[in-house]
Amino acid sequence: MTGVIEGFYGQPWTQAERFELFDWMAAWGLNTYLYAPKDDLKHRVIWRELYTEAEAEALGEVIRGCHQRKLRFIYALGPGLDIRYRQASDRQRLKMRGEQMLALGCRNFALLFDDIPGQLDGADIARWGSLAAAQSQVANELFQWTRARNPDAHFLFCPTPYCGRMAEHHHGGADYLSILGRELSPEIDIFWTGPEIISAEIGVAHLRDLRALIRRKPVIWDNLHANDYDGRRFYCGPYAGRPLELKAEVNGLLCNPNNEFCLNYTPLRTLARYVAATEIWDPRQAYLDAMQEWFAKFTVVGGPLALEDLILLGDCFYLPQENGPQAEALYRLIRELLATAPAQWRSRAGDFQLLAGRLRAFCGRLAELTHRPLFYALSRRVWELREELDLLENYVAFKAAPDHAHRPFHSDFHLPGAYRGGLVPGLQRLLKPLADGSFVPSSTSPEI
């Protein structure tokens, strides 16, 4: 199984976006789409309620769209927020949803128990003894029910501790994964995100250790390009941090990407190239090739844009734990300028002004995009980037002026409250993150 999960928190994709995704997948050799948008209310919050006729018809269109392109459609249900594991009525509700989806042409299912309270109530503890055992019982029952109706059905399961850190902290209870490996039917695949929820790297040794616990190869639910946890960023860097040898250690590789569909071209294109690669995997080259393809979407009303500028912008929104090389060079350059006296700058101030000005101008030109959904997805992020670059450019020019030491630096366009204002930025400044992942109070507590 290789492909895409629509599994983020936020507004689900439109039908048109899904069909465009299916065209990409079919052309690129990906084969699986998993329907699991967290904010489809009937996927998670009110999972006991059946879809209305209109809702069911829309899902039927998605299923048919997959089948027409020879893609595997998997429907996921997330009942974990309030399921009563011991109640036959709740297990029957799961089967009623299954019946509705089977009638629409769905043949493959997933049961998700992620992001839920990691404990049972007293009555369920008395019956099963552990959350893993209770969930396994429910999943096994639904799996057998599904297989009786479709012997070829794929069935997947997302555990409550779905990454290494959660398991180490005993989320879901002690020995959750080993109990799950023992109790869950061996024919059911298990999702895993790696050492972390958003894993910069997933190694072969990590997966082999996991396999010993869960008694099967996992299916990777990869959040490398997910951005639902940080609306200020998106990620268009390459599929990276996963060696080619990883593919032999998993039963599937599915990407849960950016909320904004039109920002996912490079992440998914490089995923497909990773899947197809056999001997050599160069993430940076795959990124450059994919950005050249994506550049065709960047037609504007005025004169043409430059591919090099799109790559520079992409480097600014690369991966969660990594800037692209040009963005990293820009950041190091301005840090050096701020840390040294202007007399020591030599050509570095000009280098920064040139690079920052080029990037800021490109961000401004994006307002001319004829692909308006693409512009709207980018607009708030590039606006913020432009504001910071403008402030830094003006500060560098100010410091270079002969009389700067006799007056403070001000900007008429970056005023207190209106710029970097609000409660959330103020809260973010109160605790300072350290390199080891710990937090300490900031030396000063600035005003909001």
The answer for residues whose C-beta is within 8 angstroms of residue 350's C-beta and 6 or more apart is none
Question: 322 pairs with which residues across the strands?
Answer: 319
Where do we find the tokens 């309620």?
49
What's the sign of the alpha-carbon dihedral 19, 23, 28, 33? positive
* Amino acid 275: pLDDT: 98
Where do we find the tokens 């459609």?
73
Measure CA 311 to chain center: 20
Topology agreement, domain 2-294 and domain 307-414:
no
- Nearest of 280, 309, 276 to residue 292 by alpha carbon: 309
* Amino acid 403: pLDDT: 77
Cβ-based neighbour number of residue 416 at 10 Å: 9
The answer for residues whose C-beta is within 8 angstroms of residue 116's C-beta and 6 or more apart is 80, 81, 160
What is the spatial distance between Cα 71 and Cα 63, in angstroms, rounded to a whole number?
9
Phi, psi of 319 (to 5 degrees): -135, 160
Catalytic residue positions?
115
First CA to last CA distance, the chain: 48
The answer for residues whose C-beta is within 8 angstroms of residue 255's C-beta and 6 or more apart is 3, 4, 5, 222, 224, 225, 239, 267, 268, 271
Where do we find the tokens 């019946």?
99
Q: What would the two tokens of residue 373 be? A: 């959904």
Torsion angle defined by CA atoms of residues 20, 22, 27 and 31, in that order, rounded to the nearest 10 degrees: 160
2-294 CATH: 3.20.20.80
* Amino acid 400: pLDDT: 87
What is the spatial distance between Cα 257 and Cα 269, in angstroms, rounded to a whole number?
12
Fold classification of 307-414 is Methane Monooxygenase Hydroxylase; Chain G, domain 1 (1.20.58)
What is the spatial distance between Cα 1 and Cα 73, in angstroms, rounded to a whole number?
11
* Amino acid 169: pLDDT: 95
Where do we find the tokens 């595997």?
72
Whether 250 contacts 220, CB under 8 Å: yes
* Amino acid 118: pLDDT: 76
What is the spatial distance between Cα 409 and Cα 406, in angstroms, rounded to a whole number?
10
- The residue ranges of every structural domain in the chain are 2-294, 307-414, 421-448
CA distances for 297 relative to 33, 50, 218, angstroms: 24, 39, 36
Phi, psi of 440 (to 5 degrees): -135, 155
CA distances for 2 relative to 71, 156, 413, angstroms: 10, 14, 47
Q: What is the pTM of this model?
A: 0.95
What is the spatial distance between Cα 266 and Cα 255, in angstroms, rounded to a whole number?
12
* Amino acid 125: pLDDT: 80
Whether 139 contacts 157, CB under 8 Å: yes
Q: What would the two tokens of residue 38 be? A: 């967290």
Phi, psi of 434 (to 5 degrees): -105, 165
Q: What is the mean pLDDT of each run of 10 residues along the chain (448 residues)?
A: 97 97 98 97 96 97 98 97 93 97 98 89 84 96 97 97 96 95 98 98 98 98 97 96 98 98 98 97 98 98 95 98 97 95 92 95 97 96 95 92 80 88 90 90 68
* Amino acid 446: pLDDT: 56
* Amino acid 81: pLDDT: 93
